[in-house]
Amino acid sequence: MAELLQKVRVIDPVSKIDELFDVLIADGYIKEVASHIADIHSDIQIRDCQGLVLGPGLVDLYSHSGEPGFEERETLLSLLKSAAAGGFTRVSILPDTSPAIDNPALVAQLQQKRADDNLSPLLPCSPAPLLHIWGAITLDVAGKQMTELADLASAGVVGFSDGKPFENLALVRRVLEYLQPLGKPVAFWPSDRQLTANGVMREGVDALRFGLPPIPASAETTAIAAMLELVAAIGTPVHIMRVSTSRSVELIASAKAAGLPITASTTWMHLLLDTKAVKSYHTSLHLDPPLGNPSDVVALRAGVRTGVIDAIAIDHTPYSYEEKVQAFAEAPPGAIGLELALPLLWQYLVETEEFTALELWRALSTSPAECLGQKVSAILPHQPAELTLFDPQQTWKVERKSLYTLSQNTPWLGQQLKGHVVQTWC
């Protein structure tokens, strides 16, 4: 069935367009984009899209799947449903499952599950997102032995990452050397665990006020500095994950100005909240890296707007109710976000006019795809229809029955949000 979206606001970071158009979609392709499409056949479904936003499908750089090993937190099916409901047409899972995704057989098993027929009618209006899988860099918990990187690359992983800090810089150097000929992205989370120690909150006035063990900004910045030195010496492109401090933004900006082949991402919650939010002691605000001080949030937002920070990652991290119902410092760090990120970022960054719609959509779609070595098509005739239709005015309540994820670890649980994804095409 062909669909005609009339008077929809098209936001296309590829063509740098933010205008009202009629868009005709049929057979998985964009057939026509024009200010007014008059030649309408009887078999075309017409939809009045005034007030709605149409952009390229959102791309998540990294999130966590409970399956295999922690299906009570999230199954692959519930993760894909959650991603589709949040407007994502591509989602990338980290390899920290149980067992870890460190061999081609497990990669093939997960890819086959995504391809199963029972995933095709995922949501009433949205197909299953494309599933990308990060292959593990190391085999053991101590991070001392590399996986068979070439075999994983041949198995179709999107890139390589452990999604956890590296202490062994000699191994990092070896990994960068081995990965050079494979042409796959590699993502590292720079964090010095000795400096982090038992901290759970960013060092500063609020950490003192709330009586929580602090984590200095240098736990991140020293690790980034070491990583940048290795990249400068070896030349292998690297993606820096989970940037959370203002000094980190400065280091990355300087490295990019010097021509180092790096990209970087922060997470959506680090753009919205700062240490003051921890006053509630809500365990879903226990993140790793922790929420930044107000100056960090200002720098991160500026970094995303200017492109120093290339992309916004969701880092969807589901945990069961029992796991999160503990004292703040004892609860495992992480929060869900696939269904919440776009509405909240739009509400607090675009509607306040701090970001343009193009800036936000770029950081959630085309830029993360580029970090994965991929491209997103422009919203033009004859291009594949990989799209997200979003209603920035629709209100809904965040509660168990309104979420597709199996977990509820979010500080917005029970709150009314404005902005909801209507449909995706993939």
Name the pTM for this structure.
Answer: 0.96
Active site residue 96: no
What is the Cα 21 distance to its own chain's centre? 28
pLDDT confidence band for 222 (50 / 70 / 90): very high
Tell me which fold the domain 57-378 belongs to: TIM Barrel (3.20.20)
Q: Give pLDDT, residue 250.
A: 98
Q: What is the pLDDT of residues 134-170, one digit of tens each?
A: 999 998 655 678 999 999 999 999 999 999 999 899 9
306 pLDDT higher than 90: yes
| Set 162, 192, 315, 391: catalytic member | 315
Nearest-angstrom CA–CA distance, 224 and 264: 11
Nearest-angstrom CA–CA distance, 80 and 119: 9
Q: Give pLDDT, residue 326.
A: 95
Q: Give pLDDT, residue 42.
A: 73
Q: What is the pLDDT of residues 176-216, one digit of tens each?
A: 999 999 999 999 999 999 999 999 999 999 999 999 999 99
Nearest-angstrom CA–CA distance, 244 and 291: 7
Taking residues 4-30, report their average pLDDT: 96
Q: Give pLDDT, residue 92.
A: 98
pLDDT confidence band for 120 (50 / 70 / 90): low
